[in-house]
Amino acid sequence: MRALGALRALLRVELRAARRNARRSWLVIGLVTLSVAAMCGGGALFKTASVTTDEMCANWLGAAALGVRTYDALEPNAFAALVPPEARFTGYTRAEATAAFGSKTTELELWGFERGALNGDGLARGLLRLVDGRAPSGVDECALSPSAARELGVALGERLQLEGKPHTVVGLAVRPEELESALAWTELAPGSGTRLWLVDTQSEHPALDADAWFEAGHRTWSRELYVADPPVGHGEEFSERDIFEELVTFVLGGFAFFEAALVMAATFAVGVRRRQREIGLVSANGATVLDVLRALCLGAGALASVGVVLGTALGLGVAFAVAPWLDAWNGRWNGPLEISLPHIVAAALLGPASALAATLLPALGAARLPVSVALSGRRPALVATRAWLALGLVLITLGSVWLVLGVRADDATAAASVLGASIACVLGLGACSPWILAALARRAGALPLAWRLAARDAGRFGARNGPVVTAVLAALALSVLLASLAGSVDGFVAEQNEPVSVGPELGLVHLGLALSLVTSLLVVLLATALADVESEADARVLDAVGADPRTQRNLAGARAAYLALLGALLSAPAGLVPSWGLVKFADARLEFHTPWPQLLVCALGLPLLAFCAAWLTAARRSTN
């Protein structure tokens, strides 16, 4: 009861603080929103674009239960003798044909259906889809696919030659799974013979003996074929490619949430540090460590919940907006947007979970700070110990072993292994960073003042800078990983010497690269803001001894560049290790690629950019 009362009071304090520090709150909300939007929107688009068993059945069976290819062409009366009396059936034809209009000719697939077979209650409905005009209603009428009409330059109402016979084009129709295929749809003359049939037995269990049909030379296909086996026309290679794409999506999605959590951790660290005295006052008035911890975590959870709601709306909104272009992107009739509930649920759980994980360490540190120290506004410098180094080395070793063993396992295990091992390596390198910072600080004596102070401060507050370096290296590792993967895929495409549809993946990779660099810069600037807060007293001393504003700006720039550089150097192994795992998993067809230009951009470009950004914003930085 007391705990609830305390929580209510402290949550009020948290929410007011969130409102007062609106920019920081919106940053947290934005990070969750983007991650959730990517997962919800991506999930909906992925589900909509994926071929379901129902869609595959409709593509090959229409509304029938069974498809039959008879040994000889049969007339309907002859075929009726092969099926139970209550069964419905319809015959259709499918053959290569030549179409001519004026001087233009084209090869296409000629489909013939009985009148009404593609209508609402027809057995063939779903095999073709009418998109304009009307269905052919006589043997001298046809419908063309838009691609065939374009190729021939023919319009509705005009007459063309199909296999030498004149037909009037009365409609446009497509194969739902192959929108760009060239086809023509004509009406099958009543009573004509054909080898292709669609059968509905009117009962739950087809009373047809498939073995007997097989022995008689007929071939059958039914819904079970599409449930049990990969779809016709898509062999093993197609399935492997799908799994690889899913694996990449899974790793990148997981990394995105992990990165969001790290950036949020840096944001919360800044916020908690700025509010140290406020937290001290709350403790001085009787709040326990648990009271403070609960309130800080729930405050973060509240912000994350707003992000989840906004992210879900944004993701689904964007998916709804881009859905009309989906058919042109993957060349099939995707139908209306399908919302993926598992993705929404996962995002709704992962968003607050990443925010809570991000809050936990800074909140624990703030809540456990002795009240008198919190009230004084000082923070004791934490000494980097060898324990962090040992922990880091253990994590790196475990991550590497996990990766090597995991990529040999089945799909789901491999995906989880690559993600888990990557995160373990990033965390391991991050855990080593306080020790590295401390070691570098001891050797900074020869550096110019600003750089010396930056190195010494980074070493002095090594335990605080560890998460910051981790956030930087994780963001950069993502861009290194993407660049490495893009290089591997590029190499594969070049080797094939044939057009391969990798455009969307490469676009995604380049977008990811840009986002990673922006995120890295954001993290570095947040880290610099945090360092500025920690060093307000030092800044006053520098002012007092006559340091001009330029020196203060140089110091801010040096702090940003120093952390960016360390993050960049550590990001190389952190990005290349999971890339190697993914490439190994994808198959020997892909060769591992080291993205040297990207590594150079990370090691030189980002620190320079960070220096300039911190230098320019040093005087304008918000004090909230």
Residues that bind another protein (CB under 8 A): 1-6, 8-10, 12-13, 16-17, 19-20, 277-278, 281-289, 291, 370-372, 375
Return the sign of the alpha-carbon dihedral for residues 134, 136, 137, 141. positive
Residue number, 289 or 387, with CB nearest to another protein: 289
CB neighbours of residue 196 within 10 Å = 18
Residue number, 247 or 369, with CB nearest to another protein: 369
CB of 368 to another protein, least distance (A): 10
CB of 3 to another protein, least distance (A): 8
Three-class DSSP category at 83: coil
Write down the residue that tokens 């030498």 correspond to: 164
Q: Annotate 30-66 with b (16+ C-beta within 10 A) or e (fewer).
A: ebbbbbbbbbbbbbbbbbbbebeeebbbbbbbbbbbb
Spatial distance between the Cα atoms of 476 and 597, rounded to a whole number of angstroms: 13
Write down the residue that tokens 């109402």 correspond to: 157
Beta strands in 328-404 (DSSP E): none
Query: Which burial class, exposed, middle or buried, applies to 149 when counting CB atoms under 10 A from its CB (0-12, 13-18, 19+)?
Result: buried
**Residue 418: both structure tokens together:** 């690559």
Residue number, 1 or 588, with CB nearest to another protein: 1
Backbone angles phi, psi at 8, to 5 degrees: -60, -45
CB of 288 to another protein, least distance (A): 4
Q: Are 93 and 196 within 8 A, CB to CB? A: yes
Residue number, 13 or 269, with CB nearest to another protein: 13
Residue number, 60 or 268, with CB nearest to another protein: 268
Q: Are 419 and 577 within 8 A, CB to CB? A: no
CB of 530 to another protein, least distance (A): 21
Residue number, 3 or 155, with CB nearest to another protein: 3
CB of 363 to another protein, least distance (A): 17
Residue 331 backbone zone (phi > 0: left; psi -120 to 50: alpha; other: beta): left
Residue number, 16 or 510, with CB nearest to another protein: 16
Spatial distance between the Cα atoms of 4 and 216, rounded to a whole number of angstroms: 78
Residue number, 143 or 374, with CB nearest to another protein: 374
Q: Which amino acid is at 214?
A: F
Residue number, 267 or 283, with CB nearest to another protein: 283
Nearest to 24 by CA among 255, 254, 349, 274: 274
Three-class DSSP category at 64: coil
Three-class DSSP category at 158: coil
CB of 317 to another protein, least distance (A): 33
CB neighbours of residue 429 within 10 Å = 28
